[in-house]
Amino acid sequence: MVSEEQVLQALKSVMDPELGKDIVSLGMIKDLEVKDGVVSFVLELTTPACPLRSVLEKNAREVVEKLNGVKEVKIKISSRVLSYPSEKSLPGVKNIIAIASGKGGVGKSTVAVNLTLALASKKASVGLLDADIYGPTIPKMLDIIRPPFYVGGDRVEPALSYMGVKVMSIGLFTSEDTPVIWRGPLVGKAIEEMLKQADWGDIDYLIVDLPPGTGDASLSLAQAIPLTGVVIVTTPQDAALRIALKALRMFQKLNVEIIGVIENMSYLICPNCGSRLEVFGSGNVYKTCIELDIPYLGEIPLAPEVRESGDLGRPVIIREPESPASKAFIEIAEKVAGRVSVLARRKSEQTEKKSEESR
């Protein structure tokens, strides 16, 4: 008869290619039971949006099925998102992911909103902070189902949107006609306060929509809060890419990890002939990522339904989940989640090593 040790030994041959270790050493096998040739266990992934979910399950099943005496393999999939360890971390918030761009108007907020919802659609708990103090567009792009409210003292319960997504934006607290006239340093403070006053609860990912460029707000935020990493959004246009690279270098200087680059408005599908039009040129973003050894996370088409959905407050992921743009957002969200797992684990290992050395 097959034993638990034999099953674990077999499972040790299954690698998580992203984390670079086998799934047993990574602690992903839980509640293993072997009874009369029936093997059951839980495969605990590091994110519910795991891009490798089906590959890992298939490989685990195959190696166990091959063992002598195994009649049946029952695998349950669960997930537990790794926290990015930091002394300054926000209670309950496991990972903070900033979305940045060089130029405005490249679709940073659109990407932030749709990535947030894509992760939530995979059952991750997600929050969204609109850090674009001067041009907060999130409340317009994303329907608010319940507004934020104060819960005693200066604590704030964030607004709620689709799929339990928690939202904070200065636009939810000021009226549309009141211009925000804070000066640079105050902007950074305002964002930090909004971030810290909110009762986010337990969330896996907090997405932060930064203002465009390399201004004070992005700078002070990157220094004040422990970001797992930053996602850079650009269009294929040379001018946009050049400024995006400037932002990218700023984050690298601040020791913020680059999660990767998203190419938005990448191409247009001609509604008449179905052919692919590369309106802003093609290939440059990918090439640049390879040259700089930075992950290229994927491309999102320029599509009327993306803009229309944004204008209506029902993002394309919700309104037209089967559209090519939505599929692209889901695929990219999985890549982001995968990269975040890698970065959080790497940081945990570094932190452990440091504390061992100091002991």
Applying CB under 6 A, the residues found at the interface with ligand ADP are 101, 104-110, 137, 264-265, 300, 302-303, 306-307, 310
Element (H, E) at 32: strand 29-35
Candidate segments 45-53, 106-114, 249-257, 284-292, binder of Mg ion by CB under 5 A? 106-114
Output the smallest distance, CB 276 to ligand ADP, in A: 14
- Strands across the sheet with 203-209, in order? 159-160, 166-169, 126-130, 203-209, 93-101, 229-234, 258-263, 296-299
Indicate the Cα dihedral angle 110, 116, 119, 120, nearest 10°: -120
Question: Which partner in Mg ion, ligand ADP, none is near 101 (CB below 5 to 8 A by kind)?
Answer: ligand ADP
Nearer to ligand ADP, 194 or 265 (CB): 265
Give me the least distance between CB of 183 and ligand ADP, in Å please: 21
φ, ψ for residue 314, nearest 5 deg = -115, 90
State the number of CA atoms in the 13 A half-sphere of 123 facing the CB: 10
> Among 46, 47, 101, 109, which residue sits at the site for Mg ion (rule: CB under 5 A)?
109
**Shortest gap between Cβ of 262 and ligand ADP (angstroms)?**
10
Q: What angle do CA 113, 119, 122 make, to 5 degrees?
A: 140
Taking the complex as a whole, the smallest distance from the CB of residue 108 to Mg ion amounts, in Å, to 5
Per-residue tokens: 284? 């440059």
Q: Which residues contact 171 (CB under 8 A, 6 or more apart)?
A: 130, 136, 137, 138, 139, 140
Minimum CB separation of residue 32 from ligand ADP in Å reads 45
In the complex, least distance from residue 195 CB atom to Mg ion, rounded to whole angstroms: 17
Q: How far is the CB of 137 from Mg ion (least distance, A)?
A: 5
Chosen from ligand ADP, Mg ion, none, partner binding at 264 (C-beta under 5 to 8 Å by type): ligand ADP
Q: From the list ligand ADP, Mg ion, none, pick the one residue 187 interacts with, judged by a Cβ distance below 5 to 8 Å according to partner type.
A: none
Instruction: Please choose, out of 109-117, 148-156, 159-167, 331-339, the segment that lies near Mg ion by the rule CB under 5 A.
Output: 109-117
CA geometry: angle at 320 spanning 297 and 233, to 5°? 25
Minimal distance, residue 222 CB to ligand ADP, in Å: 18
In the bound state with ligand ADP, the residue whose beta carbon lies nearer, of 188 and 310, is 310
Q: Which helix (H) or strand (E) holds 81?
A: none
- Residues between 269 and 308 that touch Mg ion (CB under 5 A): none
- Does position 110 bind Mg ion by CB under 5 A? no
Distance CA 136, CA 130 (A): 6
Q: Which residue in 261, 197, 254, 202 sits closest to 83, CA to CA?
A: 202
**Concatenated DSSP letters for 130-172?**
E--SSS--HHHHS--SB--EE-STT-EEPEE-GGG-EEEEGGG
- Give 287: exposed, middle or buried? Use CB within 10 Å, 0-12, 13-18, 19+: exposed
Task: DSSP letter for 297, please.
Answer: E
48 or 310: CB nearest ligand ADP: 310
For residues 20 and 105, which CB has a smaller minimum distance to ligand ADP in the complex? 105
Angle between helices 108-121 and 324-358 (to 10 degrees): 80
Supply the minimum distance, in Å, between the C-beta of residue 109 and Mg ion: 3
Residue 315's binding partner, choosing from ligand ADP, Mg ion, none, with beta-carbon cut-off 5 to 8 A by kind?
none
Residue 138 contact among Mg ion, ligand ADP, none, beta carbon within 5 to 8 Å by kind: none
342 is in the binding site of which of Mg ion, ligand ADP, none (Cβ under 5 to 8 A by kind)?
none
- Which range of residues in 9-17, 103-111, 251-259, 318-326 is near Mg ion by CB under 5 A? 103-111
Which option in ligand ADP, Mg ion, none does residue 303 bind, with CB closer than 5 to 8 A by kind?
Answer: ligand ADP
Which residues here bind Mg ion, judged by CB under 5 A? 108-109, 137
